[in-house]
Every structure is written in C-alpha cells, then in structure tokens.
C-alpha cells in the first residue's frame, strides 16, 4: 500500500510539472516554440548570461580561455546569438511592411527569386543556407520588394525547421497583403547533414507552400517555370 501511495504521489508530481511546462509555453501549429516569459530579459542580460554559459561549454571542452584567440569568444558568440542569427525570435525586430496601391492594375503574379536564406537548424544549431522564391497575385495592394527579403530574413533568424520556415513566410505575406494567392519555395542545404552524421555535401531540401490560385496546377506551373 505504501509503495502504491508513493507511486501515486510521484505520478501526481510529474503531471503537475508537465502541466506547468505546458502553461509556460506558447503553442500554435506554425509558431516557433517559445516560452511565455521569453522576452522578460533584455538583450544585454541575455548576452551576459549566454556568455557565462558558453564559457562553461568551452571550459568543459578543455579550451584555454586565457589564450588571446579564445578569450573573447564567449562574448562574441553571445552577441551573435542575440543580435544576429537568432534576432528573429524577438517580435521587436519584426520588419514593418510597406504597401502601395496597385495603381497599374497589375493582376498577374509577381515573382521574386533567389532570396538568400540563412537560418539555423533547431536540432543541432548549425546553419541552413539556401534560396527562397516567392510569388503573389495582388488583391489591390503591392508590397515593397525589399520587404519580401526582410520577411524571409526575419523568420530565418531563429532556430528553425525548413517546413515551418516556409509556412511562416507564406502566412506573413498572406496576412500583410490580405490575399491567399501566395506561393513560397525554399531550396536549402542543411549543414547538419553535410558537417556531421552522413556528411553528404551534395543534397538539398526543397519545401513548398501554395495557397489560393497557386493551388491550380496551371498557375503553379507558371510560377515553377519562372523560378527555373
């Protein structure tokens, strides 16, 4: 009986912990997994804490932090994480979107090809590099072209999986333009495949997201022809 009671208490405690973890996380189908308190710390505090933790990692690896070349590495890495390669985690860094009236009544697809993608795999924190191709059909508004690049950059600058990144970019463009007629293709090279494990240097991964008129094979094929 005592053992059964002990097991029951343990199971209750484990469930309470799981419930607490669930309550402290933002959960949505296409959102990057984030805790609700993710932005309570300012950037400088995050940099300071990451610097300390990365110093511990380097010490565990046996590196000499007194060496001139390594002394400032923890701080450099911390600043890079917060201010650069993971800056897309912070909603404050989300680019503003500039829209213009479609005064030319252009009702064909607009395609921007070969937008640079530089992200990091959330499983190993190593780079994902490649190109994004975007198309949309105006619903009365057009977007400044550089804003498409900035949207890609914003969602890329966080730990990612390519499927989610593709959907996030498409959803953001649909929301900004008020149209479902959006297509996104990403062709990317994953360094977690090339630099570790199988070490395949030649493979790439292609993900797509089509909606609205791009679900039509005729419209989709026209888009694919444009991006080659």
Please answer whether residues 222 and 213 qualify as being in contact, where contact means their C-beta atoms are separated by less than 8 angstroms: no
Identify the active-site residue in 112, 124, 180, 191. 124
Identify the active-site residue in 48, 112, 122, 163. 122
121 is catalytic: yes
Exposed/middle/buried for residue 122 (C-beta within 10 Å: 0-12, 13-18, 19+) = middle
Alpha carbons 6 and 11: distance in angstroms, whole number: 9
Alpha carbons 105 and 108: distance in angstroms, whole number: 9
23 is catalytic: no
Q: Rounded to two decimals, what is the model's pTM?
A: 0.86
**Looking at residue 173, what is its pLDDT?**
98
192 is catalytic: yes
**Looking at residue 29, what is its pLDDT?**
67
pLDDT at 178 over 60: yes
124 is catalytic: yes
84 is catalytic: no
Domains and CATH numbers, the chain: 2-85 (1.10.286.10), 98-227 (3.30.1130.10)
Alpha carbons 225 and 174: distance in angstroms, whole number: 22
pLDDT digits (tens, 9 = 90+) for 123-161: 999 999 999 999 999 999 999 999 999 999 999 999 999
């Amino acid at each position: 009986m005592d053992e059964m009671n002990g097991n029951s208490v343990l199971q209750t405690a484990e469930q309470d912990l799981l419930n607490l973890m669930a309550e402290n996380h933002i959960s949505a189908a296409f959102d990057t997994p984030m805790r609700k308190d993710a932005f309570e710390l300012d950037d400088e505090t995050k940099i300071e804490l990451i610097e300390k933790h990365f110093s511990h990692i380097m010490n565990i690896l046996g590196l000499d932090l007194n060496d001139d070349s390594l002394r400032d590495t923890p701080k450099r890495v911390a600043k890079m994480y917060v201010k650069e390669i993971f800056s897309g985690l912070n909603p404050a860094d989300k680019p503003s979107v500039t829209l213009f009236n479609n005064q030319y009544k252009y009702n064909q697809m607009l395609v921007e090809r070969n937008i640079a993608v530089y992200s990091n795999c959330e499983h190993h924190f190593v780079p994902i590099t490649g190109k994004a191709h975007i198309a949309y059909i105006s619903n009365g508004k057009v977007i400044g072209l550089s804003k498409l690049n900035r949207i890609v950059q914003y969602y890329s600058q966080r730990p990612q999986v390519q499927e989610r990144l593709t959907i996030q970019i498409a959803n953001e463009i649909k929301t900004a333009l008020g149209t479902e007629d959006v297509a996104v293709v990403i062709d990317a090279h994953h360094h977690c495949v090339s630099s570790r494990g199988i070490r395949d240097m030649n493979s790439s991964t292609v993900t797509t997201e089509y909606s609205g008129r791009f679900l039509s094979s005729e419209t989709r094929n026209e888009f694919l022809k444009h991006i080659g």
